[in-house]
Amino acid sequence: MTKAGTTVAAARTTAPAVRLPRRRGIELALIVLAVLLSVYGYCAVGLAKAGTVPPGALGYGAGLGVLALLAHVAVRVRAPYADPLPLPIGVLLNGLGLVLIYRLDLETPGARAAPAQLVWSTLGVGLFIVVVLALRDHRILQRYAYVCVVAALALLTLPILFPAVNGARIWIRVAGFSIQPGEFAKLLLAVFFAAYLAANRSALAYAGRRVWFVQLPTGRVLGPIVTIWLISVGVLVLERDLGTSLLFFGLFVVLLYVATGRTGWIAVGLLLAVLGAVAVGWLEPHVHSRFQDWLHPFATIDAGLGPNQLAQSLFAFAAGGVLGAGLGLGHSVLIGFAAKSDFILATAGEELGLAGLSAIFLLYGLLVERGYRAGLALRDPFGRLLAVGLASILALQVFVIAGGVTGLIPLTGMAMPFLAQGGSSVVTNWAMVALLIRVSDSARSQYDGQVAP
């Protein structure tokens, strides 16, 4: 395994003739399209609300364009073989998120969020450029696995020291900024999981007893798993953040399965998850009420208390129909609190309709698929697990939050990647795309003619 680098180098030298096209031109064209779509959305909001093109349209478009172009240049310089899709998808989703937040700002003139989000997006793209330029090879990260896990645990436990906000203890407030450290922790944990599993996958896969048709792992390797499970339950109990703990645990189970191929892990994981969820749902009123809201979204209406957030969210989606009300013409602001963050998707659903919502889901799906595709093409286990982990984080997060606001699963407070208001989230997502670019560059430049990335 440690020889992975050398074998790759050998492959690169032996088969230079089958190198894949770089496709940077396609990336540039798609970025221009993404920027134009965002500017168009921005103008559509202004035309619908005020009847004129908003005054900052040109500046907004230029700013977004310059940011995207800088990112593109960084990719061109340091990751010339990278997949051409992740960057334009990131730009489009981020631009669309800005449009939606700007649109909701018009309904809440007292609490503008778009300017701050623009600053955070700039920081995010900055981090993207830094990661692409500085991280020459993703395998360097493997060396810092234990640094990563310590940092992640520190970040996770930090908010416990700060007061709870809206029932969840996931924010820290520094000099007027609120930061969600859990967002950064998920990337660090993905790196750690990938490194740990890459090193221990054989022990995990082939030891242990077979009970029925399930291959159980031995106690020695079970330890770390149980530790992670305890941590995620701890996060849930102490910070009352169902979404994040679900994400961590889901990520770990997926990576464990991919690393070992043991269905037993899935069985164990599901069992532990169910146990944890039931116990916490029973003990924690906050989580319990979320579960009740999911089962009976209209209970508060029947009780004469008016619609709750989930009911308002469902009303917003329903009002969108197939084609949507049009940007700026919906009333998703009725959702009230968290309309710009957790419930941002309801605005997209109402104003862009099922058509727009499906397009957004498919964009996420495409991004996830590109991640897995890079994982398939890579030869080193760490890189594969890292790519799978990053893609899985995105997939799980989108599913948990989108399923929550559409009433598919109980609602958990999480940020829709790129779309939702939230600085920590958007910065983390750009770092994630940077890592995807990095691994896909490795995958595509090492192409050996077997699995097309």
Partner 1 sequence: MTRYIRHAIAFCALLLVALLVNAARVQVFQAGSYDDNPANRRPTIARYAQPRGDILVDGIAVTGSRDTGEQLRHERTYANGPLYAPVTGFASQEYGTTFLEHAEDGILSGTDPMLAPLPLWDDVSRARSQAGNVVTTIDRAAQEAAFRGLGRRKGAVAAVEPSTGRILALVSAPSYDPAELSGNGEPVKSAWARLNQDPEKPMLNRAVRQTYPPGSTFKVVTAAAALDSGVVEDLDAPTDSPDPYTLPGTRTRLTNESDDCVDASVRAAFEWSCNTVFAKLGVDVGVEAMTTMAQSFGFNDTSLRIPFSVAQSTFDTQVDRAQLALSSIGQYNTRATPLQMAMVAAAVANGGQLREPYLVDRTVRRGGETVTTTGSRPLHQVMNPATAVRMRELMTDAVKEGTGANAAIRGATVGGKTGTAQHGIGNAGTPYAWFVSWAQGDHDLEPEVAVAVVVEDAAADRGDISGGGDAAPIAKAVMRAVLGL
Residue 2: burial class (beta carbons within 10 Å; 0-12, 13-18, 19+): exposed
Token pair 């600053």 is found at: 119
Q: CB under 8 A: which stretch of 55-63, 171-179, 286-294, 372-380 binds partner 1? A: 372-380
Q: Write the DSSP string, 210-263.
A: EETTEEPPPHHHHHHHHHHHHHHHHHHHHH--HHHHHHHHHHHHHHHHHHH--H
Q: CB under 8 A: which stretch of 147-155, 165-173, 393-401, 412-420 binds partner 1? A: 393-401
Closest CB 365 distance from partner 1, rounded Å:
5
Instruction: Say which amino acid occupies 5.
Output: G
Q: Is 376 in the site for partner 1 (CB under 8 A)?
A: yes
Comparison of 175 and 303: residue with beta carbon closer to partner 1: 303
Instruction: Say which amino acid occupies 133.
Output: L
Q: Is 167 in the site for partner 1 (CB under 8 A)?
A: no
Name beta bridge partners: 214.
211
Q: Is 10 in the site for partner 1 (CB under 8 A)?
A: no
Q: Is 326 in the site for partner 1 (CB under 8 A)?
A: yes
Q: Is 375 in the site for partner 1 (CB under 8 A)?
A: yes
Q: Is 331 in the site for partner 1 (CB under 8 A)?
A: yes
Name beta bridge partners: 177.
174
Name beta bridge partners: 174.
177
* Positions of E strands within 258-408: none
Q: Write the DSSP string, 313-340.
A: HHHHHHHHTTT-S-TT---GGGG-TTTT
Token pair 């619609």 is found at: 307
- Cβ partners under 8 Å of residue 267, min gap 6: 214
Q: Is 368 in the site for partner 1 (CB under 8 A)?
A: yes
Q: Is 408 in the site for partner 1 (CB under 8 A)?
A: yes
Q: Is 336 in the site for partner 1 (CB under 8 A)?
A: no
Q: Is 275 in the site for partner 1 (CB under 8 A)?
A: no
Comparison of 155 and 402: residue with beta carbon closer to partner 1: 402
What are φ and ψ of residue 195, in 5° steps?
A: -70, -45
Closest CB 136 distance from partner 1, rounded Å:
25
Q: CB under 8 A: which stretch of 83-91, 109-117, 134-142, 351-359 binds partner 1? A: 351-359
Site for partner 1, residues 208 to 267, rule: CB under 8 A: 254, 257-259, 261
Q: CB under 8 A: which stretch of 78-86, 206-214, 235-243, 397-405 binds partner 1? A: 397-405
DSSP 8-state class, residue 141:
G
Closest CB 376 distance from partner 1, rounded Å:
5
Q: Strands 214-215 and 210-211: what pairing? A: antiparallel
Site for partner 1, residues 281 to 320, rule: CB under 8 A: 298, 301, 306-307, 311, 314-315, 317-320
Among 122, 157, 292, 358, binds partner 1 (CB under 8 A): 358
What are φ and ψ of residue 172, in 5° steps?
A: -120, 145
CA distance 152 to 218: 26
> Inter-axis angle of helices 263-283 and 242-260, to 10 degrees?
170
Q: CB under 8 A: which stretch of 41-49, 120-128, 173-181, 381-389 binds partner 1? A: 381-389
What are φ and ψ of residue 170, in 5° steps?
A: -125, 5
Closest CB 325 distance from partner 1, rounded Å:
6
With vertex at residue 196, the alpha carbon angle to CA 190 and CA 202, rounded to the nearest 5 degrees, is: 130
Q: Is 43 in the site for partner 1 (CB under 8 A)?
A: no
Would you tell me which residues interact with partner 1 (CB under 8 A)?
254, 257-259, 261, 298, 301, 306-307, 311, 314-315, 317-323, 325-326, 329, 331, 334, 349, 353-354, 357-358, 361-362, 364-365, 368-369, 372, 375-376, 381, 384, 388, 391-392, 395-396, 398-399, 402-403, 406-408, 451
